Amino acid sequence: MDFNTVCNTPYATVITKISEKEARYLLPYKQQLRASKGQQTQQISIMSAFARTFLVLLSTLTSAQCHYQKSRCFIIEKSGENYTMIGNGPEKDDCTAGKLIEEANKNLGLNEGDPLILFGDVAVGTGFQNADPCTSRNCLWPKANDGNVHIPYVISNQYSSGERSIIERALQAFHASTCIRFHRRQSDMHYLDIRSLQGCWSFVGRRTGSQTVSLSRQGCVYPHVVQHEILHALGFNHEQCRSDRDEHVRIIYSNVAPGQEHNFRKVQTNNLGTPYDYDSVMHYPRNAFSRNGQPTILPIPNRDVSIGRATVMSRNDILRINRLYRYCGTTKAGEAHFTGSFHSGLMQDGESCPFERLCS
C-alpha cells in the first residue's frame, strides 16, 4: 500500500474484511501506538498478519504526522458475523459531529472566496446575514406526486470510492425513517452538490440551482457529519440555537473563544412541538468553541447530562423531518439506522458499551 496515498485519502483507503478478534485489537489502537517499542513488538507477535500490517501502517503514519492517524477515528462495520474496517469513525468526544466540524472549519473564512459562515457551519447568502436563513424565505424542498420529498444530488469525483460509499450510506439512512428520498441527479435543475471544499458547511434549507454542501476530505467524511450538514440543507438549525434554549442550557460566554460568540446566537425557530433534545445530531458538545477547554454549553438544571454526543439522528431529529415536511409519504417509526450495518449510538459519559456501538 502506498503510504502517501493513505495520507492523501484519509477516510477510505482501508476497506478490508477482518475478524472479530482483529476488530477488537484495532479498536483501541491509539493506546497501542502510545506503548513503547518493546510493548508494541510483544502485541504484534500475537496479532494476525492483517493486524500486524495495519499497526505498522499506523506507526508509519504517526511518524509522517498525516491526517489519517491524527484523526484517530475509524468505522467498524458489522454485517451478521462479518466485520469490515472502513476508513475512520467516531471515537469519544474528539469525533462528535460538533468537534469534527469545529476542527475542520478552524481556518474557514481566511481565504478569498470562502462563504460567510454563521453558527459554526451554516453558509449565509448575501442579504441574509442578520436573518434566520430559512424562515426568511421559502426553504423547503417540494413534495413529489408520491408524497415523498425527492432530492437529487451529485458527489464530486474528488472523493475516493470508499468516501463516496460513506456519504451515500449516510444519505440512505434518511430513507429508513423519513419521507426524504435522495437520488443521483439526472437532469434536475435544483440539487445538492456535495464536494470537498474548505471545511464542513451547508446552507439552511433549499436554494435554487446547484446547492453546495461542503464535506472536506480532511475531517468531514463521517456518517454523522454528513447527516448533520444534510439536516441543515433540509432546513434545520443547531439545537443549542433554538428559541427556547435558555430553558435547557446555559451558554458560558466567558469560556467562548474571542470572535466565536456568534455561534451561540439564538434563532427564532419553529420547534415543531418537539422537546429540546440533548441527543440530537444537531447539538454541539459542551466545550464547543471553547477558549480554554472549559464548557461553553452547560445543561440545566442537571449540568452532568450528556450533550452533543450523537453519532446518528435521534428520534426527535426524525420526527422533526417528518413534521416539517408534513408527514409526506410513508414513514416508519423507530430508531434511525444506516442501511447496511453501521452500528452507532450515543456515547454517554463513563459508559461501558458493547463493541458494536463503536466505543473505544
Annotated binding site for Zn(2+): 228, 232, 238
How many whole angstroms separate alpha carbon 298 and alpha carbon 306?
Answer: 10
Please choose, from the candidates 195, 184, 194, 193, the residue with its C-alpha nearest in 3D space to the C-alpha of residue 152.
Answer: 184
- SS3 (DSSP) at 84: strand
Catalytic residue among 163, 229, 261, 335: 229
Task: Please enumerate, by residue number, every residue annotated as part of a binding site.
Answer: 228, 232, 238
Which triple of cell numbers denotes residue 81? Answer: 458475523
- Alpha-carbon separation of residue 266 from 138, 160, 251 (angstroms): 20, 38, 11
How many whole angstroms separate alpha carbon 50 and alpha carbon 67?
Answer: 22
Length of the chain: 360
5 burial (CB, 10 Å; 0-12 / 13-18 / 19+) is: exposed
Buried/exposed code over 61-86 (b: 16+ C-beta within 10 A; e: otherwise): beeeebbbbebbbbbbbbeeeebbbb
How many whole angstroms separate alpha carbon 319 and alpha carbon 178?
Answer: 8
The DSSP annotation for 68-108 comes to: HHHH---EEEEETTEEEEES----TGGGSHHHHHHHHTTTT
Which triple of cell numbers denotes residue 300? Answer: 440545566
Please choose, from the candidates 245, 232, 219, the residue with its C-alpha nearest in 3D space to the C-alpha of residue 90.
Answer: 219
Contact present, 170 and 230 (Cβ < 8 Å): yes
Q: Is 229 annotated in the active site?
A: yes
Which triple of cell numbers denotes residue 157? Answer: 469525483
The HSE-up count of residue 213 (CA atoms within 13 Å, CB side) is 28
Active site residues: 229
